[in-house]
Amino acid sequence: MPTDNTSRPVVLVTRPRHQTEELGALIVAMGAEVIHFPVLEIVSLPPAKATTELIDDLRSVDIVIFVSANAVEQGDARVRNQLGKWPAQLQFAVVGRSSARVLARVGLQANICPEHHFNTEALLALPTMQQVKNKRIVIFRGQGGREKLALELRRRGATVDYAEVYRRQRPNVDLSQLRQSGVLSRVGAIIIASNESLQNLYDMAANIDRDWLLNTPLAVISHRCAELADRLGFRHYNIASEASNQGLLEAVQQYIGKAPLAHPPESGNDRTR
C-alpha cells in the first residue's frame, strides 16, 4: 500500500547533492521527509600556476589543512593527478568529521582534528596548531573564503600558502520551481550549512516567495550564519551545537518536533543559542 507522506514534517536540505547522503538519512530516520534543493554547486578550478607549483613542492611542506570535504576531494584529485601520491612526511589537518571521513575514503589519515565544535577556532586551539613556528603549511580550499586561519597561523610563525582547487557558484534555479510543484507549502524547516548558502537561498526567492522564506525556521551551522540570518530578516532559527551533521540534526529537530510546521507562526521569535 502506498505511504502518504503529506503529513510528515518536511526538511529542505540546501547542501550540494553529493554531500547530503548522511544528513538526509539521519533526517529520514527521525521520521521526516527530505527535499533536496542545492543552493551551491562545486566546480573544479583549472590548474593555476601558483597551485601547480605548491603541489610540486609538497615534499617541503609540514602540514596540509583541508577546510572542507570539498577541499579534500578536489585537493586529493589534483595531487594524485600531478604527483601520483601524497608525500609521506605530511601531517593532515581537517576542521570537522565529514572532512576526516572523506580523507579516510581516499586512504589518508587526519592527524589533526578538533574533538568538538569543528570550526576554525577549534582547530586553532589544538596544541599542534599552537606550535607551528617555522612550519610550512598549505591550506587547500575553494576560491575566496575566510582569512582567519592563515592570518593566525602566520602570527604564530608559520609560512602559509593557499592551494585553491575549486569554486562555489549559485545554481541557475529559484524557489518558483518548488512553489509550482507544490512542495514549498509543505516545508517546515530549512538546513543551512554556510553563509554563502544562506545568501544564495535568499537571493533565489522572488518577492512572491520572500515572506514565506523569512518566516520558515532555519537550522544554521554557526553563530556567523545566525548573524547573517538576522541581518537578512529571518524570524526563526536555531544554531547547531557543533558544525556537524549531528549538530544540524539536533537544531532542526527542535522544529520538526513541533507540529504542524507547514505554516510557521506569523510573529514571535525563537532564536536560540
Q: Are the CB atoms for 187 and 164 separated by under 8 Å?
A: no
Say how far apart CA 30 and CA 34 lie, in whole Å: 11
Q: Which of 138, 169, 200 is the last residue of a domain?
A: 169
Same domain, 49 and 157: yes
Q: How many domains does the chain have?
A: 2
Tens of pLDDT, residues 26-54: 999 989 999 999 999 999 999 899 999 99
Same domain, 85 and 163: yes
Q: What are phi and psi of 231, to 5 degrees?
A: -65, -35
Q: Is the pLDDT of residue 128 over 60?
A: yes
Same domain, 50 and 138: yes
Same domain, 84 and 133: yes
- Domain range holding 201? 10-40+171-256
Same domain, 36 and 49: no
Tens of pLDDT, residues 172-211: 999 998 888 888 888 999 999 999 999 999 999 988 999 9
Same domain, 86 and 69: yes
Instruction: Determine, yes or no, domain membership for 67.
Output: yes
Angle, vertex CA 61, rays to CA 100 and CA 87, nearest 5:
65
Same domain, 148 and 235: no
C-alpha cell of residue 84: 601520483
Same domain, 160 and 57: yes
Q: Which of 107, 137, 169 is the last residue of a domain?
A: 169
Instruction: Determine, yes or no, domain membership for 269.
Output: no
User: Across the beta sheet with 218-220, what order do the strands follow?
Assistant: 33-36, 10-13, 187-192, 218-220, 237-239
pTM of the full predicted structure?
Answer: 0.82
Same domain, 66 and 164: yes
For the chain, what is the mean pLDDT? 89
Same domain, 136 and 202: no
Residue 257 is predicted with a pLDDT of: 63
Instruction: Determine, yes or no, domain membership for 222.
Output: yes
Q: Is the pLDDT of residue 269 over 50?
A: no
Q: Which of 169, 194, 221 is the last residue of a domain?
A: 169
Same domain, 83 and 132: yes
Residue 262 is predicted with a pLDDT of: 35
Instruction: Determine, yes or no, domain membership for 120.
Output: yes
Instruction: Determine, yes or no, domain membership for 221.
Output: yes
Instruction: Determine, yes or no, domain membership for 270.
Output: no
Same domain, 106 and 137: yes
Nearest residue to 99 via CA among 107, 88, 110: 110
Say how far apart CA 105 and CA 94 lie, in whole Å: 14
Residue 268 is predicted with a pLDDT of: 32
Which pLDDT band, with edges at 50, 70 and 90, does 75 fall under? Answer: very high
Q: What is the CATH number of the domain that holds 152?
A: 3.40.50.10090
Instruction: Determine, yes or no, domain membership for 271.
Output: no
Q: Give 161-196 as a DSSP string.
A: EEEEEEEEE--S--THHHHHHT-GGGEEEEEE-SHH
Instruction: Determine, yes or no, domain membership for 266.
Output: no
Say how far apart CA 215 and CA 272 lie, in whole Å: 15
CB atoms within 10 A of CB 231: 8
